[in-house]
Amino acid sequence: MLRASVVPVVVLGAALGLTACGGGSGGSAADGSGLTGTGISVAGNLGTNAGASTGTDTGGNSGTATDTNVGPGTGTTSNADSSGSDTGQGGSGSESNAGTDAETGNGSNEGTSTSDTVCPDLSRCVDFTALRIAKYKDNKRAAASYTFDDGYATSTAIASIFEKAGVRATFYIIPGIIRADGWSMWKTLAGKGHEIGNHSMTHPDFRNTVLSDQQLDAEINGAQRLIEQKLGIRPQTFAFPYHLYSDRALKVAQQNHVAVRKMNLGDPGYQFAFFDTDHGTDLAGTLVTVNRQLDEAVKAGGWFVAGGHGIDGDGWSPVTTEFLQKHLAYAAQYSSALWTDTFANVSRYRLCRDMVKAEVLLPSSTQANVHLTGTYDPAVCNAPMTVTVPVSIPSGATLRTKTVDGTEVATSVSAGTAFFSLRPGDKVSLQVVPATKTTR
Ligand SMILES: [Zn+2]
């Protein structure tokens, strides 16, 4: 599932002479000392510049530079054969070099800068051919989701157990049996980030072939509409009562829901864990079983989905507060490998990673633009995805990721792989800069 498509737009060759076009209007330059002329000129301007400039600097060198940067950036002039550099600061504007270069390459410039010497050819420090959308958010190895059906009274207590562990759960509710005064607790839980999912209007057995198309619509879509009307949030996922359904019912559920919870996905890494005593001998045995399933999911880089009901005597085959706490304590050992989130959030990520593509554009030899594109439903793929890329960055340097408006994007590097978040449709620029440049 390789998603990187690398399209080098402009790779600037070494131009004889210095042709700096750093910042456009409003730019300022801090020149390095000892400029001798031969070098690479790279310019990144805020705004859109397209054009070629030819210049002769006062040091007697002449050269040509092409500037086709679109978007943000600070301009940088890199001189391969000298220690000098020209760093332009921002500024929108047009190219202003026409025969005369702003750079005076006479070797008498003051100030030093090393920004150009860190990674003069970015593609040698960052392997853009291996740029990917991570399997799971934050480059985690596996995912886990916790779902609880039927909307029992202890749902609030369950939610708070998960909140204490920094986790959000999914509650599949049956809107047809919720009383007028029963909606406020679901509104509260939704407000805390838990997912309120659709468990049908009246909890029928969906294998029943007697159910007409109209009844299926009322049970599935009607329930979705009622929940949306009451909570102001449209349920994104559906769970069939008893895990039972006909093909016809499944089709209806898939029409308006991002995902349908199932016991099996045909994915070997998928583990559906029953948080009840009906599928095991006792609670202690069930805990051992579900923890082992979590081990398997993490090992396989898969998805662990728990399915429970109420707790502490409430609801069908309930587990206990202690059971949940013990499981969460066990799961904590995997915190660096496991992304735990609602069923909807993990479902959406899994869907979108197959539809969204990461594209790389190299407007210059020191900057890359990464863009998430592809054919996807923007209403579904509207959460940030994690982009990973292998890096080999010189010591004392760091990979800087910025949005189009110049906002720094948190970028982690672990075991030779850099990763950062990017929303489908959005674009960031990547540069390798001296580490001191990013610390304030
Ligand atoms: Zn149920």
- CATH value at residue 379: 2.60.40
CA of 381 to the centre of ligand 1 (A): 28
* One domain for residues 189 and 295: yes
* One domain for residues 321 and 425: no
Mean pLDDT of the chain: 79
Q: What percent of the chain has pLDDT over 70?
A: 72
- CATH value at residue 146: 3.20.20.370
The total of other beta-carbon atoms located within 10 Å of residue 33's CB is 14
In a domain, 375, yes or no: yes
CA of 156 to the centre of ligand 1 (A): 17
CA of 174 to the centre of ligand 1 (A): 8
Domain count, the chain: 2
In a domain, 164, yes or no: yes
Provide the whole-model pTM: 0.73
The pLDDT assigned to 355 comes to 95
* One domain for residues 304 and 156: yes
85-105, pLDDT tens digit by residue? 333 333 333 333 333 333 333
Could you tell me the pLDDT band of residue 62, with boundaries at 50, 70 and 90? Answer: very low
CA of 153 to the centre of ligand 1 (A): 14
CA of 231 to the centre of ligand 1 (A): 20
* One domain for residues 197 and 316: yes
CA of 363 to the centre of ligand 1 (A): 54
Could you tell me the pLDDT band of residue 278, with boundaries at 50, 70 and 90? Answer: confident
* One domain for residues 312 and 377: no
383-410, pLDDT tens digit by residue? 999 999 999 998 889 999 999 899 999 9
* One domain for residues 339 and 245: yes
Count Cα neighbours of 59 within 13 Å in the Cβ-side half-sphere: 22
Write down how long the chain is. Answer: 440
Strand bridging mode 142-149 / 303-308: parallel
Boundaries of domain holding 290: 140-349
> Distance (Å, rounded) from C-alpha 202 to C-alpha 174?
6
* One domain for residues 257 and 399: no
Neighbours of ion ligand 1 (CB under 5 A): 149-150, 241
> Distance (Å, rounded) from C-alpha 315 to C-alpha 309?
6
318, 349, 380: which is the final residue of a domain?
A: 349
Give residues with Cβ within 8 angstroms of 424, minimum separation 6: 352, 356, 372, 373, 374, 376, 378, 381, 382, 385
Could you tell me the pLDDT band of residue 117, with boundaries at 50, 70 and 90? Answer: low
330-362, pLDDT tens digit by residue? 999 999 999 999 999 999 999 999 999 999 999
CA of 31 to the centre of ligand 1 (A): 70
Mean pLDDT value of segment 215-244: 98
Cβ atoms of 145 and 341 closer than 8 Å:
yes
320, 349, 378: which is the final residue of a domain?
A: 349
* One domain for residues 312 and 372: no
Instruction: Return the structure tokens found at 142.
Output: 């596996």
* One domain for residues 310 and 362: no
CA of 327 to the centre of ligand 1 (A): 22
121-137, pLDDT tens digit by residue? 999 999 999 999 999 99
288, 319, 349: which is the final residue of a domain?
A: 349
* One domain for residues 321 and 232: yes
